[in-house]
Amino acid sequence: MIKGGFQGKILRVNLTSGKIMAEDLNEDWAKKFVGGRGYGTKIMYEEVDPKVDPLSEKNKVIIATGPLGGTLAPSSGRTMVVTKGPLTGTIACSNAGGYFGPALKHAGFDMVVIEGKAKEPVYLWIYKGEAELRCAKDIWGKTSDEADKILRDKTHPKAETMEIGPAGEKQSLVANVMFNGHRAAGRTGVGAVLGSKNFKGIAVRGNLGVKVAEPEKFMEAVYKTREILSKDAFSGGGAAMLGTAMLVNVINGVGAFPTKNAQDAYFPEAEKISGETLRERNLIRNEGCAVCPIGCGRVTEIKEGKYKGAHGGGPEYESVWALGAMCGVSDLDAVVMANYLCDKYGMDTISAGSTVACGMELYEEGYIPKEDSPLPLTFGSGEALVEAIKLMGEQKGKLGKLLAQGSYRLGEHYGHPELSMSVKKQEFPAYDPRGVKGIGLEYATSNRGACHVRGYTIAPEVLTGAADRLKYEGKGELVKTFQDLTSALDSTSICLFTTFGLGGEDIALLLSTATGFKVDINEFMKIGERIWNLERLFNIKAGFSRKDDNLPMRILKEPIKTGPSKGEIEELDKMLDDYYKVRGWDKNGIPTNEKLKALGLLD
């Protein structure tokens, strides 16, 4: 029997039949995959055919917390959204901060499995161990911030909410799932899956506690980890001061800041969209998630000009980059406004920004005929950026509908998919692999398409300098280590940002004292490796193989034109075989039976 951490209950909601059931958590699965991303992936692997159309009734969505969610463990507010992603066709796990995950635990559940398809729009209200589906017809069409407010008005003023915006309803492939209207589980188009099910969102409220297995030892671990985070210069102060946008100047400073659809990797006007400028120009205050001593969130407003009075959360570093440098835009107010609009429509800022950038290059090259575009879609225009985001969010006209499908399908339509800066059709984030070699390997091999937070090698390759960003040697091992660590971490509910101060052994201690499972650092990393391999198996069954572990041709062939990494290209082949080898996979990237047996994934 599980002694703590988990509530031991999973809520299964069948939208086709309207039936809601509480099921017991599978203890064996919890030991092998923990919760969150790991357990959610196990459900997907066992219950969903990997070849299923992601937007069909047969796909499922798992809203999952981990065993540290709802406890006093620091920064334990993450909520995972696990499904088959429609943007990529891969297994997908997107996650968000805030307070929703702990509230779900306090209402008595570790996760919610959403399956089938409702005839008409519905939302789910979960309150103190009970749940009911309610009509959402009058919320359908509302923006995420409006839906957040209405859901609380209809349920409880202190309910926590999860919702999709109009983009998810219209099944845009860049649609995200929002929490409280301004926290986003952004990537892989997860919002479209809920839209395809006529599912608007969840409101949740509860007052149950979360028991832990060894209370005294757990609290010792909590105090220790809190102290480390509070004393660390980043997590204890720097993050609250500048937020994640602090990275603008350093990533541009090393010449790895993709600019104008990655035609270059150095943005001369980066200072205008930096964390420092955002603080001076737009910041009202910082904001933290549940039990978080870091508090990196931004609450901002636009104080002057044509967007004066608009306010909201963010932008984060990735959003400032995608909507800023990637589109050549240095007008910070336009970037902040575009970020607010993405949140309202419920769209991933990385994919949305990079898709607009792809559109700008297609337009400037003459591949998008002028009659298709209601506006001159030119690099550097803040106005074009904001209008393009509106077209995308509302799916207005031919171009709006195409933009809403992401950059790959946009480029493909106009005959130039190579201008999509994506892997497995998902747009890559704010680090140019030509200037940071290991992150390219991470993009190529990430189980949910191009992504930085599957394995954040930027920390050793740029921020600490523990590894040389321009060398290829040893990057296979480095990427594997970070991918495995993050897979395990994402299964606990703890935020990735704690790892700037904490080590895997600290998280393992929190996990073992909360659950009573014997988890040391070695077991923690093995859990991570097991999850990574299970995700890989799902993708292989979905039809992915070595050929898909690739990067855009521009990154492999076109040298960076200016800045500190001028002349660099990415030579992925120098790392990929080595990566497969350290993973114990064959030359085609298939996990060997020996490896699967060692991980307990094959009897």
Partner 1 sequence: MIVKVKAFANLREVFGGEIKIKLKGGAILKDLLSPVFLPPESVEAIIDSESGEIKPSILILKNGRNIRFLGGLLAKLEDGDEVSIFPPLGGG
Q: Is the peptide bond before 315 cis (omega within 30 degrees of 0)?
A: yes
Classify 136 as helix, strand or coil: coil
Kindly identify the residues of this chain, within the stretch 9-28, that bind partner 1 according to CB under 8 A.
none
Taking CB under 8 A as the rule, does residue 556 contact partner 1? Answer: no
Least CB distance to partner 1 at residue 183 (A): 15
Least CB distance to partner 1 at residue 307 (A): 25
In this structure, what token pair is assigned to residue 410? 């946009």
Question: 431 CB contacts (<8 Å, ≥6 apart)?
Answer: 251, 256, 257, 258, 439, 452, 458, 462
Least CB distance to partner 1 at residue 235 (A): 7
What secondary structure letter does DSSP report for 188? G
- Interface residue with partner 1, options 145, 160, 169, 318 (CB under 8 A): 318
In the complex with partner 1, the residue whose CB is nearer, 79 or 244, is 244
The number of residues that bind partner 1 (CB under 8 A) is: 42
Taking CB under 8 A as the rule, does residue 472 contact partner 1? Answer: no
Taking CB under 8 A as the rule, does residue 492 contact partner 1? Answer: no
Region of 17-25, 120-128, 198-206, 247-255 interacting with partner 1 (CB under 8 A): 247-255
In this structure, what token pair is assigned to residue 305? 């000009």
Question: 28 CB contacts (<8 Å, ≥6 apart)?
Answer: none
Spatial CA neighbour of 484 closest among 29, 2, 37: 37
Region of 2-10, 19-27, 205-213, 448-456 interacting with partner 1 (CB under 8 A): 448-456
Q: What are the beta bridge partners of residue 127?
A: 130, 205
By the 10 Å C-beta count (0-12 exposed, 13-18 middle, 19+ buried), 426 is classed as: buried
In the complex with partner 1, the residue whose CB is nearer, 196 or 447, is 447
Kindly identify the residues of this chain, within the stretch 209-238, that bind partner 1 according to CB under 8 A.
232-235, 237-238
- Interface residue with partner 1, options 253, 374, 380, 474 (CB under 8 A): 253
Angle between helix axes 521-542 and 504-515 (nearest 10 degrees) is 90
Kindly identify the residues of this chain, within the stretch 277-296, that bind partner 1 according to CB under 8 A.
296
Taking CB under 8 A as the rule, does residue 469 contact partner 1? Answer: yes
Taking CB under 8 A as the rule, does residue 482 contact partner 1? Answer: no
Half-sphere exposure of 16 (CA within 13 A, CB side): 8
In this structure, what token pair is assigned to residue 255? 């010449």
Q: What are the beta bridge partners of residue 416?
A: none
Taking CB under 8 A as the rule, does residue 433 contact partner 1? Answer: no
Q: Which helix (H) or strand (E) holds 384?
A: helix 382-394
- Dihedral (CA of 580, 586, 591, 595) sign: negative
Binding mask 104-143 for partner 1 (x = CB under 8 A): ----------------------------------------
Q: What are the beta bridge partners of residue 20?
A: 13
Region of 121-129, 380-388, 461-469, 535-543 interacting with partner 1 (CB under 8 A): 461-469
Taking CB under 8 A as the rule, does residue 564 contact partner 1? Answer: yes
State the residues that interact with partner 1 by CB under 8 A. 232-235, 237-239, 241-247, 249-250, 253-255, 275-276, 296, 316-318, 452-453, 456, 458-459, 462-465, 468-469, 496-497, 500, 563-565
